[in-house]
């Protein structure tokens, strides 16, 4: 796994993150019946009979009444949408069931526990693949229906949450907001919320994971290259740095914007001047001009105006002025 995947996996190795993920993003009544105090991380590495190993996903279990309910969280950070994700999830859930059976982790009755499959995606394009494997199966004789696989997964597309404010003090909501941030001001504001939410001594581990994720994943792509992120080791240090420098960056951006605007203004002024001069020359040479000539000069580029100004020296008709050599 690269730094991005590793940092994200560390984030969702904290029960607070899984709790907020379920409470904030799984809109189903049974979530309120879960005993969040029983959240327990399950080993993400299991080997099936075909010797394939999955060690990159996050698996938790939590008590629902007297039963364990499993949460399988797949972190999908590819640049393109996997149209057969439903097949992958079916396979991974099957591997987890096989591991639970072979390791003797079933309840006394021997029944399989329910598994909630969730795909967390943060690619640039919006997710458009089917979340239900049944929708990916071709037409079949009606009698085959009961024998075909049936499973859907819950998709959380981070990009689809762009522009939404963090929900209450939901950590996952803040993470999505940071992933969609477009300016240092946005980052500083949400980071201030995280600093306020995570002050308890027993949240030190989570604060470290968030700091690492920000330093490795979020901030490098959004802040100037001369920002010394390695010197910041806590959320508070990052927030203080951003609070101090946001105003500086804003001034720099404004100055760059003014410079760009001034340059564009000068270029537009020169082009208008050339157009007016050429219009006067054409009128003096050929008399009253058709209305479309003025419009053509207004829409012309600097290069075109310069070419027409050269043509007028030798042209004997108005049409020859606008000929392309």
Domain count of the chain? Answer: 1
- Whether residue 198 lies inside any domain: the answer is yes
Asked whether residue 14 is domain-assigned, the answer is yes
Mean pLDDT value across residues 189-202: 89
Is pLDDT above 70 for 132?
A: yes
176-191 pLDDT, tens digit each: 888 888 777 788 888 8
What 3 state SS string does the chain have? CCHHHHHHHHHCCCHHHHHHHHHHHCCCHHHHHEEEEEEEEECCCEECCCCCEECCCEEEEEEECCEEEEEEEEEECCCCCCCCHHHHHHHHHHHHHHHHHHCCCCCCCCCCCCEEEEEEECCCCCCCCCCEHHHHCCCCCHHHHHHCCCCECEEEEHHHHCCCCCCCCCHHHHHHHHHCCCCHHHHHHHHHHHHHHCCCHHHHHHHHHHHHHHHHHHHHHCCCCCCCHHHCCCHHHHHHHHHHHHHHHHHHHHHHHHHHHHHHHHHHHHHHHHHHHHHHHHHHHHCCCCHHHHHHHHHCCHHHHHHHHHHCCCCCCHHHHCCCC
Residue 273 lies in a domain: no
Residue 87 lies in a domain: yes
With respect to residue 233, please indicate whether it lies within any of the assigned structural domains: yes
Domain that holds residue 161: 3-135+146-246
Decide if 55 is inside a domain: yes
Identify whether 267 is part of a domain: no
What pTM was estimated for this model as a whole?
A: 0.70
Does residue 296 fall inside a structural domain? Answer: no
pLDDT in tens, 19-57: 999 999 998 999 999 999 999 998 755 544 443 455 568
């Amino acid at each position: 796994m690269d730094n991005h995947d590793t940092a994200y996996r560390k984030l969702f190795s904290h029960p607070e993150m899984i709790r907020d993920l379920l409470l904030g993003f799984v809109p189903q009544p049974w979530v309120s019946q879960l005993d969040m105090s029983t959240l327990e991380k399950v080993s993400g590495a299991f080997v099936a009979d075909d010797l394939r190993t999955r060690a990159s996903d996050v698996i938790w279990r939590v008590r629902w009444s007297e039963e364990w309910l499993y949460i399988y969280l797949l972190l999908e950070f590819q640049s393109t949408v996997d149209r057969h994700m439903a097949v992958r999830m079916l396979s991974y859930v099957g591997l987890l069931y096989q591991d639970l059976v072979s390791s003797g982790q079933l309840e006394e009755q021997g029944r399989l526990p329910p598994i909630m499959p969730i795909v967390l995606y943060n690619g640039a394009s919006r997710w458009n693949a089917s979340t239900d494997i049944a929708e990916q199966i071709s037409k079949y004789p009606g009698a085959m229906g009961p024998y075909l696989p049936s499973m859907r997964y819950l998709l959380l597309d981070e990009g689809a949450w762009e522009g939404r404010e963090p929900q209450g003090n939901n950590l996952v909501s803040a993470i999505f907001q940071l992933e969609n941030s477009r300016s240092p001001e946005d980052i500083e504001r949400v980071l201030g919320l995280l600093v306020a939410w995570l002050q308890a001594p027993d949240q030190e581990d989570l604060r470290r994971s968030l700091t690492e994720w920000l330093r490795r994943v979020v901030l490098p792509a959004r802040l100037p290259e001369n920002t010394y992120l390695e010197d910041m080791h806590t959320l508070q240090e990052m927030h203080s740095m951003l609070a101090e420098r946001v105003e500086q960056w804003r001034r720099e951006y404004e100055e760059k914007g003014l410079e760009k605007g001034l340059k564009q203004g000068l270029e537009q002024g020169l082009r208008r001047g050339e157009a007016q001069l050429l219009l006067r020359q054409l009128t003096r040479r050929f008399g009253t001009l058709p209305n479309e000539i003025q419009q053509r000069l207004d829409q012309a580029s600097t290069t075109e105006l310069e070419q027409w100004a050269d043509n007028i020296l030798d042209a004997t008709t108005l049409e020859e002025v606008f000929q392309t050599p």
